[in-house]
Amino acid sequence: MKILAMDTSTLVMSVAVMEDNRVLGEVTTNLHKNHSVRLMPTVVGLMEDLDLSVDDLDAVAVAAGPGSYTGVRIGFTTAKTIAWSRKLPLIPVSSLAVLAMSGLRFPGGVVPLFDARRNRVYTGLYRREGERLTAVKRERVMDVNRWLEELDQEGPCLFLGDDVHRFQETIADQLGKAAVFGLPAENTARASYLGQLALDHYRLGETPAADNAAPDYLQLAEAEAKWLRTQGTE
């Protein structure tokens, strides 16, 4: 089974093609450049390098959020269009779960983290079970200090993500030696991990129809929240 996987939910852009449990090719960049301009040329270039066409694909996987609203929309719209046009299954996967996979080697808790602004983070807590990671605290967006209070009794935790450096001093102050920080390569989400998780979901029969799939931002966009407030809706 061949899966095209793409992640543009953060400043990192990653595209991979998987065949079952094998990575055929992967392109990952952290250039902080416009994903809307670079995503499709990257997909096309990778497919050409692999001598593959869209007709060779069996499914499309996409990082469904949370993360940058614009980034998530770019990746999701692109993946959904490819899937819809070729009648392929679209497999959305949590962006945090993809990043957490970089910590599979760690024996304690794995904490993927994206900056959500105003001292808040998108995050969750995972632990290794066999060769997979399982979420033991649900993904959420919350104040970083309150989140660290929750993690205080969880033992050693590996913090992952490009945004961790913004909170590193606070994390170290609150958790002390229980806080472990990822290596540079581990802080970058990879589309090959996305493809691996998508394949797991597919085998479990968790694939939604392409026309029903939607991003999961974990919170409303600021413009949406303001509009609801004007309507008197919490």
More confident residue, 92 or 212: 92
Distance in angstroms (rounded) separating the CA atoms of residues 200 and 186 = 21
Q: Which of 155, 171, 187 is the last residue of a domain?
A: 187
pLDDT exceeds cutoff 80 at 165: yes
| CATH number for the domain harbouring residue 43 | 3.30.420.40
Residue 178 has pLDDT above 90, yes or no: yes
Neighbours of 168 (CB within 10 A): 13
Please check whether residues 28 and 139 belong to one and the same domain.
no
**Token reading at 5:** 């996987």
Same-domain status, 128 and 21:
no
CA 2, distance to chain mean position in Å, is 20
Pair (64, 138) in one structural domain: no
Split into its structural domains, the chain has a count of 2
Does residue 197 share a domain with residue 160?
Answer: no
Residues 44 and 157 in one domain: no
- Residue 4 vs residues 19, 33, 34, 51, 192: alpha-carbon distances, Å: 9, 21, 20, 14, 9
Interval 17-56: pLDDT, tens: 999 989 999 999 998 889 999 999 999 999 999 999 999 9
Using alpha carbons only, what angle is made at residue 216 by residues 185 and 148, rounded to the nearest 5 degrees?
Answer: 60
In this prediction the pTM is: 0.91
Give me the domain span that covers residue 26: 2-95+189-230
233: pLDDT strictly greater than 70: no
20 and 86 part of one domain: yes
Cis peptide before 41 (omega within 30 of 0): no
Q: Is the same domain home to 24 and 59?
A: yes
Q: 160 and 199 share a domain?
A: no
Residues 71 and 120 in one domain: no
Which distant-in-sequence residues (6+ apart) come within 8 Å of 90 by Cβ? 59, 60, 61, 62, 79, 80, 83, 84, 207, 208, 209, 210, 213
Q: Both 159 and 225 in a single domain?
A: no
85 and 151 assigned to the same domain: no
Predicted confidence at residue 226, as pLDDT, reads 45
Q: pLDDT tens for residues 142-163?
A: 999 999 999 999 999 999 999 9
The string over 37-75, giving b where at least 16 C-beta atoms fall within 10 Å of a residue's C-beta and e elsewhere, is ebbbebbeebbeeeebeeeebebbbbbbbbbbbebbbbb
Is there a single domain that holds both residue 85 and residue 197? yes
Mean pLDDT of the chain: 92
- In angstroms, rounded to a whole number, what is the distance separating the alpha carbons of residues 230 and 224? 10
**What is the predicted pLDDT for the residue at 194?**
98
